[in-house]
Amino acid sequence: MPPFFLKDNILTESKQIVHQHDLQKSLKRSQVRQKVNALLLISPLLLFILITFVFPIADMLFRSVENQIVSRTLPGTIEELSKWDDDSGLPSEQTYFLLAKDLKIAVENKTHTRLGSRLNYEMSGIASTFRKTGRSIKKWDIDQEINYKEKFLNIDKKWGNIEFWRLLKLYSPKVTSGYFLNAVDLIKTTEGISQRDETERIYLFLFQRTIYMSVLITLLCLLMGYPVAYLISSLPLKTANLLLIFVLLPFWTSLLVRTSAWKVLLQQEGVINDILVLVGLVGDLDRLQLINNQFGTIVAMTHILLPFMILPLYSVMKTIPESYVKAAKSLGANEWTSFRRVYFPQSIPGVGAGCILVFILSIGYYITPEIVGGTSGTFISNRIAYHISYSLNWGLGAALASILLVAVLILYYVYDKIIGIDNVKLG
Amino acid sequence: MALPVYATRLYRAWDIIFKCICAFVFFFLIAPIIVIIPLSFNAQDFFTFTPEMLNFQSEGYSLKHYNDFFTNVDWQTALTNSFRIAPLATLISVALGTIAAVGLSQSDVPFKKLIMAILISPMIVPLIISAAGMYFFYSRIGLQGTYIGIVLAHAALGIPFVIITVTATLVGFDKSLTRASANLGAGPIRTFLKIQMPLILPGVISGGLFAFITSFDEVVVVLFVGSASQKTLPWQMFTGLREQISPTILAVATILVILSILLLTVVELLRRRSEKIRGVSTE
């Protein structure tokens, strides 16, 4: 608590004579104490957020470059390989011996299949080689055998493929840029970085689609939100508050409720198609496909994000004084000119805030595209989820998420410059 | 927005068009939410209005989807789980958040901007990224798939809301009140509980409501951090929507809409009360 004796009036009232020097010292001390107090109050929460939230994000960033699996599973082989000159033909017999030794341990710990699927991301077919080799090696008695090279080649010809060994050497470091390259449709091969085959290129296209759809959703929100925010801000407060309920109710309603509403409305047997058939716009047999495509995602997300456009617009428009537009009109401007030259420029901060907010929320959306997007209306976030829970290529999922995170943070930085994050208003 | 007498015909026409556009947007905002309410009373397992419903015949309506919600084990477990997770997560966010907000509101806190950015970050980072990170990290430390794991994750997600609402209430706080209290001999804790807390309570409660709703409505993080035994209401709805969509979802949705109307009312009342306490007039 701030020491009360510092208050000037209290000081003059008291008869104490305090030397200037003492006063300064005591002021300084109390300020330091105040700072320490404030930090002590903040620290539990800061610690909590660091552990439950910031570390996980850092962990994810780490996973996007982490590649310890190769050197951890085949430590001896990798060390021997580092001496190997990859232009001099296949590695030495000693390398094959160490490989057998490493794999024997790996098979016992069942880690060889994991290494196989890791390397399979870079060259298809490796996973089966590792599985096959694992099965044979189980029967081997290391140190008793000879001619390891031959034995390996007998299991799978891949072990005699120099490209395969080059790949193993290439991916032996503990840190790799492989996942990030993969996330932008590139591949790190033994001959350097190159584009993936046309059939395997999906991520740049997905990023593009995410941005394109988010821009479209943002523009739709602006087009629909601007008139409404203008109307609400120009009405008397009582009516305005009533109309704001129309904006706040969807804002407060559960995301899943709104998504299910759209799923129900847009179905082929749903309300919208029924009305269209009833009116006669479409035949009963060729009902429109409104869901499980881009259209579904765009409509549902525009609806969900519209309040995030209207609320910042409204809070800016509320502060624009009426007198400016009136002055413009009295100086001879017509409605359109006074709006375009006087009102609109003053509403720009709201437009900026609303657009950035909607865009940021949109590019990271997962639930709605997952439910109403089908295959053509999904975002990059759906792919991230796919890699984490289905393909189990966590590194790639983490790399995609890291790229998305950087994009969002840059946008928020811009948002902060324009509006200030502390000015976020709720409800 | 009454038109002035000198308005041109063109402007009058534009005014009508403008109001039509606004009406359309309001309709677009509210209609999808309203339409599911009558649909949830459908006697058939359809997602559209049956002829009986349109003719307002009583056999077209029934409570069977509500009945299903309240008797189905899956839905009831989900509901229970939601109510086991959200209150505890809210409690953690509110307790830690309020104390931190009091600290943050003091003058010249070092690294204030950085600290604020860290505390607000769970709101900024897209949920799918938070969920991915939490999934990786929580599996490392053995919290993945546990009740505690979800509670902690949800508490983290709710904290920005508590921080924002409580610091907003503290902006108008008269510091001389705490000084007066200290002057009269009250210790810092007593001052906080007796003087500061009652004044910022509306902000704390609305922050808590935001945190509660965040947890209660959250699905992405639960899907990743949770396991089947922590299935919450949104999770159940999500799987229902993705796999076999059953009309029970509409009954659940209707209940949730009513819940959000109630919450909206409470938050609005709290806002007014807070402004009254702080002497800021709304009108």
Give the pLDDT confidence score for residue B278 in this predicted structure: 65
A255–B219: do the CB atoms touch at under 8 Å? yes
A57–B159: do the CB atoms touch at under 8 Å? no
User: Which chain A residue is nearest to residue B244, measuring alpha carbons?
Assistant: A371
The interface predicted TM-score of the complex, written ipTM, equals: 0.87
Q: Are residues A250 and A387 in the same domain?
A: yes
What is chain B's mean pLDDT, rounded?
Answer: 88
Better pLDDT: A100 or A379: A379
**Given a cut of 60, is residue B75 above it in pLDDT?**
yes
What would the mean pLDDT of A42-62 be, rounded to a whole number?
94
Does residue B103 come out as left (phi exceeding 0), alpha (psi in the -120 to 50 range) or beta?
alpha
Domain count, chain A: 3
Give the pLDDT confidence score for residue A103 in this predicted structure: 86
At residue A409's C-alpha, the angle toward residues B161 and A352, to 5°, is: 80
Distance separating alpha carbons of residues B142 and A291, to the nearest angstrom: 39
Give the pLDDT confidence score for residue A258 in this predicted structure: 92
B250–A260: do the CB atoms touch at under 8 Å? yes
Q: Are residues A41 and A81 in the same domain?
A: no
**Given a cut of 90, is residue B45 above it in pLDDT?**
no
Neighbour-count burial of B281, counting CB atoms closer than 10 A to its CB (0-12 exposed, 13-18 middle, 19+ buried): exposed
B19 touches chain A (CB under 8 A): yes
Torsion, CA B60, CA B66, CA B71, CA B75, rounded to 10: 130
Give the pLDDT confidence score for residue A4 in this predicted structure: 46
Chain A: closest CA distance from residue B175 (Å):
9
| pLDDT band at B283; cut points 50, 70, 90 | very low
B23 touches chain A (CB under 8 A): no
A56–B263: do the CB atoms touch at under 8 Å? no
Helix, strand, or coil here: A67?
coil
**Residues A35/B108, Cβ–Cβ less than 8 Å:** yes
- Percent of chain A's residues with pLDDT above 90: 33
A125 touches chain B (CB under 8 A): no
Give the pLDDT confidence score for residue A5 in this predicted structure: 45
**Given a cut of 70, is residue A14 above it in pLDDT?**
no
Give the pLDDT confidence score for residue B81 in this predicted structure: 94
Q: Are residues A265 and A362 in the same domain?
A: yes
Count Cα neighbours of A46 within 13 Å in the Cβ-side half-sphere: 17
CATH of B74-278, one of 3.40.50.1000, 3.10.129.10, 3.30.360.10, 1.10.3720.10: 1.10.3720.10
A137-145 contacts at long range (C-beta below 8 A, 24 or more positions apart):
A137/A100, A137/A103, A137/A104, A137/A107, A138/A107, A140/A100, A140/A104, A142/A100, A142/A101, A142/A104, A145/A100
A-proximal residues of B, 44-83, CB under 8 Å: 46-49
Q: Are residues A11 and A147 in the same domain?
A: no
A413 touches chain B (CB under 8 A): no
B133 touches chain A (CB under 8 A): yes
What would the mean pLDDT of A180-206 be, rounded to a whole number?
85
| pLDDT band at A8; cut points 50, 70, 90 | low
Q: Are residues A45 and A100 in the same domain?
A: no
Give the pLDDT confidence score for residue A16 in this predicted structure: 55
Evaluate whether residue A193 is within a structural domain.
Answer: no
Give the pLDDT confidence score for residue A422 in this predicted structure: 53
Give the pLDDT confidence score for residue B57 in this predicted structure: 79
| pLDDT band at A427; cut points 50, 70, 90 | very low
Count Cα neighbours of B171 within 13 Å in the Cβ-side half-sphere: 12
Evaluate whether residue A167 is within a structural domain.
Answer: yes
Q: Which helix (H) or strand (E) holds A376?
A: none
CATH number of residue A354's parent domain: 1.10.3720.10
Chain A: closest CA distance from residue B92 (Å):
10
Give the pLDDT confidence score for residue A160 in this predicted structure: 82
User: Which chain B residue is nearest to residue A363, measuring alpha carbons?
Assistant: B126
Q: Are residues A59 and A74 in the same domain?
A: no
Lowest mean pLDDT among A75-89, A214-228, A262-276, B92-106: A75-89
Q: Are residues A42 and A104 in the same domain?
A: no
Option in A49, A262, A270 nearest B119 (CB): A49
**Residues A280/A287, Cβ–Cβ less than 8 Å:** no
A363–B14: do the CB atoms touch at under 8 Å? no
- Structural domain spans, chain B: 74-278
Q: Are residues A11 and A98 in the same domain?
A: no
Q: What is the pLDDT of residues B15-31, one digit of tens each?
A: 899 999 999 999 999 99
What is chain A's mean pLDDT, rounded?
Answer: 86
**Residues A145/A100, Cβ–Cβ less than 8 Å:** yes
Option in B22, B164, B237 nearest A424 (CB): B164
What would the mean pLDDT of B117-129 be, rounded to a whole number?
92
Interhelix angle B9-39/A255-266, nearest 10 degrees: 100
Better pLDDT: A113 or B94: B94
Give the pLDDT confidence score for residue B225 in this predicted structure: 93
What would the mean pLDDT of B138-150 be, rounded to a whole number?
93
Give the pLDDT confidence score for residue B281 in this predicted structure: 43
Give the pLDDT confidence score for residue B137 in this predicted structure: 94
Residues on chain B touching A411 (C-beta within 8 angstroms)? none
What would the mean pLDDT of A338-352 be, rounded to a whole number?
90
Residues on chain B touching A265 (C-beta within 8 angstroms)? 32, 35
A284 touches chain B (CB under 8 A): no
What would the mean pLDDT of B225-231 be, rounded to a whole number?
91
Token representation of residue A378:
């999904």
A59 touches chain B (CB under 8 A): yes
What would the mean pLDDT of A398-417 be, rounded to a whole number?
91
Give the pLDDT confidence score for residue A426 in this predicted structure: 46
User: Which chain B residue is nearest to residue A271, measuring alpha carbons?
Assistant: B48
Option in B18, B178, B260 nearest A253 (CB): B260
**Given a cut of 80, is residue A143 above it in pLDDT?**
no
Better pLDDT: A121 or A387: A387
Residues on chain B touching A63 (C-beta within 8 angstroms)? 136
Chain B: closest CA distance from residue A9 (Å):
13
Q: Are residues A100 and A227 in the same domain?
A: no
Q: What backbone phi and psi angles, to 5 degrees, belong to A189?
A: -110, 180
Q: Are residues A301 and A403 in the same domain?
A: yes
Q: Which helix (H) or strand (E) holds A194?
A: strand A192-195
Option in A48, A59, A269 nearest B136 (CB): A59
Note down the domain range covering A52. Answer: 4-63
Q: What is the pLDDT of residues A237-295, one digit of tens each?
A: 889 988 998 898 998 888 999 998 998 889 888 888 888 888 888 888 888 888 889 99
CA distances from A290 to A294, A372, A376, A409, B50 (A): 9, 9, 12, 33, 21
- Percent of chain B's residues with pLDDT above 90: 44
B281 touches chain A (CB under 8 A): no
Give the pLDDT confidence score for residue A193 in this predicted structure: 84
B182 touches chain A (CB under 8 A): yes
B126–A39: do the CB atoms touch at under 8 Å? no
| pLDDT band at A57; cut points 50, 70, 90 | very high
Evaluate whether residue A198 is within a structural domain.
Answer: no
Distance separating alpha carbons of residues B278 and B87, to the nearest angstrom: 28
Distance separating alpha carbons of residues A242 and B137, to the nearest angstrom: 45
> What is the residue whose two structure tokens read 């850092």?
A58
Lowest mean pLDDT among A1-5, A6-10, A344-348, B68-72: A1-5
User: Which chain A residue is nearest to residue B93, measuring alpha carbons?
Assistant: A45
Q: What is the pLDDT of residues A113-130, one digit of tens each?
A: 888 888 888 888 888 888
CA distances from A144 to A92, A133, A140, B56, B171 (A): 18, 18, 8, 87, 79
| pLDDT band at A17; cut points 50, 70, 90 | low
A229 touches chain B (CB under 8 A): no
Better pLDDT: A310 or B279: A310
A307 touches chain B (CB under 8 A): yes
Nearest CA to B222 out of B140, B103, B127 is that of B127
Nearest CA to A66 out of B143, B74, B136, B149 is that of B136
B164 touches chain A (CB under 8 A): yes
Distance separating alpha carbons of residues A35 and B103, to the nearest angstrom: 9
Residues on chain B touching A35 (C-beta within 8 angstroms)? 108-110
Option in A4, A260, A388 nearest B132 (CB): A388
Option in A50, A224, A261 nearest B32 (CB): A261
